[in-house]
Each structure stands twice: as C-alpha cells, then as structure tokens.
Amino acid sequence: MWDATFNTNLKGPYFLIKALLPLLNPGAAIVLNGSINAHIGMPNTSVYAASKVAMISLAKTLSSELLSKGIRVNVVSPGPVTTPIYSRLGLPAEQLSEVASSIQAQIPLKRFGTPEEIASAVLYLASAESAYIVGTELVADGGMSQLLFFQGRRMGNSNSIEAGMNPIQSSCLSMDVKSKGTAAR
C-alpha cells in the first residue's frame, strides 16, 4: 500500500513535471492535487495523508527551484467532493447514504464540493489572475479543515474566549491570566 500510494501521489507527479519541464515556457503554472487529509489527522488514512503532505512540500520546494525559470507551482487541496469514488466503496445504498450524511455533517457548509468548484480553483491558480501566488496551497473543502475543530469546541463549551482555542492555547491563556492577571497573549 505504501509504495503504490507514494508512486501515484508523489513519484508520478514529480517525474511527470521533470519530463515536461523542457516544454514549459516562462509564465507557466503547475497546479498539483493535494488533500485536506494532509491536515486533519483522519483515522485510517496515514499513508494517503503522508503522501499528500509530501506533495505539498514538493510543491513548495519546486516553487523555489522553478521560480528562476518563471514557472509557478501551487497546490489545490480538496475536501469531500461528489465523485464516483463513493459508489466504488462496495457499500449497500442505505449504508452509502449514511456515510455521505456523516461526512456532510462534518463540513461547515453541510454539503460535498463539486468537481466544477475544484476545477475553478485549479483554473484560478493556473491563470494570469494568480500570477503573484507561488508555492501556496489553496484548500477547497467547505471549511472542513479550518473550522471543524473550532465548531466542535464551541458547541461543547460556553461562550468564553477559550471556546475556539485548542488545549495548548487555552492552557497558555489560563497560565497568563493566573501569572499576570491579564489575557494579553
């Protein structure tokens, strides 16, 4: 599983870029496909997530290496998108519907993205309108990787300032209040 995943998600794009590099003109833009799995720590996706983290790092490094040639490299990292992949899970329709509902409940926009929305993000990063964007990851996930933790903490917490903080931030705020009598940090 490790080799197949890294061959597909990292080696394939790397060697494709290497082969096509002589054909790319100054002003060219390369947009690689990342994933929010590189950021969210989803159970049972460690190998896939690691390959996407490596892809994001590759994009940043290639950005630096190819900038002198006038070639930009960026990444689009989609979240859950309506594609045929879900029907290939081999689940009965009722169970597939439950899985889809469970995933949608985790997305702040409460829906899957569409292939057209992801294509629009890629098109933007490939266009002249994004000429000043280099080595960047554009996350297109309906807020799932950025807002999910905040929402979960907020729903289970009071309206205090600590509601949207992770445990480390909350501990630091508590220590700061105790030691200095203020929440300046």
pLDDT digits (tens, 9 = 90+) for 109-136: 999 999 999 999 999 999 999 999 999 9
User: Is the pLDDT at 161 greater than 50, yes or no?
Assistant: no
More confident of the two residues 107 and 155: 107
Q: Verify whether residue 14 is a known catalytic residue.
A: no
DSSP letter assigned to residue 86: G
From CA 136, how far away is CA 124, in angstroms rounded? 12
Name the band, by pLDDT with cuts 50, 70 and 90, for residue 81. Answer: very high
- Structural domains in the chain, sorted by start: 2-142 (3.40.50.720), 145-185 (no CATH)
- Please give the average per-residue pLDDT across 152-166, as a whole number: 43
User: Is the pLDDT at 170 greater than 70, yes or no?
Assistant: no
Structure tokens at 74: 């960026």
Question: By percentage, how much of the chain surpasses pLDDT 70?
Answer: 79
Catalytic residue among 48, 86, 124, 132: 48
CB 71 within 8 A of CB 26: yes
pLDDT given for residue 154 in this prediction = 37
pLDDT given for residue 42 in this prediction = 82
Instruction: Work out the mean pLDDT of the chain and round it to a whole number.
Output: 83
Structure tokens at 157: 């917490």
Q: Which residues pair with 139 in a beta bridge?
A: 77
Q: Which among 56, 102, 99 has a CA at the least distance from the CA of 75?
A: 56
Lowest mean pLDDT among 28-42, 89-103, 126-140, 163-177: 163-177
pLDDT given for residue 124 in this prediction = 98
